Structure 1
Amino acid sequence: MKFFKVLSSNKGLTLIEVLVSLTILSLILLGIMNFFNQAYSFTNSNQKKTAAINVARNALTYMEQSSGNNSFIALRDRLEKNPATEGTLRICDNSYQVFWNDEVQGCEPITINNVAYNVTIVPSLDENNTAYFIPLTVEVAWTVKQHDYTTSMEGAIKSEDLR
């Protein structure tokens, strides 16, 4: 009964009641805004990781396409002589180029949306399959706001004898 009297009363709200309700409303809105801030940073970091995965996928595709029959044999021979060989994929004159064992010369890392992605190609020879396959692991590293991130992808390049 008292509740209906308060609602039907002609009295206005006091200043204290208005301030309390504004404080409660602002606390609720701050919590909601914090959710949007976290969602934005999560989406932003996922966007950069997706770009890194696409860079790794492009590196695997590049390695497979650039390893024609002669290139495959040359790469296999290089890896058999030096199994600890690692490659670095860079952009030189608007095209990809692989440098083996830190022989990078003035080329730039792959840059997407002002983020530099450093690509390392790590082949792993397997005595059972090296005649036709060279397994590769592509590792992509990038830095955003002084935090280092990495992702990797596995694949293989095939000899033209299989195609």
Structure 2
Amino acid sequence: MNLKKFLHNSKGLTLIEILVSLTILGIIMIGCMKFFTQAYSYTNMNQKKTAAINVARNAMMYIENESFIEIRQKFEEDPKEELTLMICDNPEDKDDPNDPYEKFWNGEAPGSSCSPITVNDIKYDVKVRADLDKDNRDFFLPITVEVQWVINDKENKIEIEGVMKSEDIR
């Protein structure tokens, strides 16, 4: 009976009732906004990680198409050797002017026209290593591609592993 009386009351709501209901609504909305902010930052980080994985896959495909014998020999000379991939703008210095990648071994200084691989204004440093402890190096060379990038002074890194096959079995 009191509920019916309250609903048909023509006096309306007091200022305190309105302020209390707005405060409760504000607290609920702040909780929802935190969820969306957190979801955005998580999605943004995953986008950069996906780009890094694609950069690593492209580097892996590039290395797989290089001369197996030369790459294996370089890694066998020094097992701690690392190969750095960069993008270079000087097509006249390269064998294939349509290929933007240039490889640099430890100790080799990249030219001034070379820069790290950049996707969406994020610079990705790409390093390739070989795992010479595995068997069957005559036809397969296990390699690891490591991609590093920095966002907000925090260093991020992913690695993918693959195998470079000899031209004899390609």
Task: Give the TM-score band, short-chain normalised.
Answer: over 0.9
Size of the alignment, in residue pairs? 159
- 3-state secondary structure, aligned to 2:81: coil
- Inter-partner Cα distance in structure 2 for 1:47 and 1:102: 33
Specify the alignment match of 2:75 in structure 1.
79
Runs of 4+ displaced beyond 3 Å: none
Specify the alignment match of 1:132 in structure 2.
139
Cα distance, 1:84 vs structure 2 = 1.1
- Inter-partner Cα distance in structure 2 for 1:91 and 1:104: 13
Instruction: Could you tell me which runs of 5 or more consecutive residues in structure 1 were left unpaired when the two chains were aligned.
Output: none
Instruction: Could you tell me which runs of 5 or more consecutive residues in structure 2 were left unpaired when the two chains were aligned.
Output: 90-98
TM-score normalized by the length of structure 1: 0.93
TM-score normalized by the length of structure 2: 0.89
Percentage identity across paired residues of the two chains = 54
* CA RMSD between the two structures: 1.2
Cα distance, 1:126 vs structure 2 = 3.6
- Inter-partner Cα distance in structure 2 for 1:74 and 1:12: 86
The answer to whether the 8 Å contact 2:88/2:102 transfers is: yes
Structure number with higher helix proportion:
1
The answer to whether the 8 Å contact 2:130/2:141 transfers is: yes
| Letter aligned with residue 77 of structure 2 | K
Counting only pairs closer than 5 Å after superposition, residues 110-125 of structure 1 correspond to structure 2 as 110-125=117-132
Per-residue Cα deviation, 1:53-105 (whole angstroms, up to 9, x for no partner): 0000000000011x2xxx21122122211111111111112711111114231
Cα distance, 1:127 vs structure 2 = 5.8
Per-residue Cα deviation, 1:34-61 (whole angstroms, up to 9, x for no partner): 1110010000000000000000000000
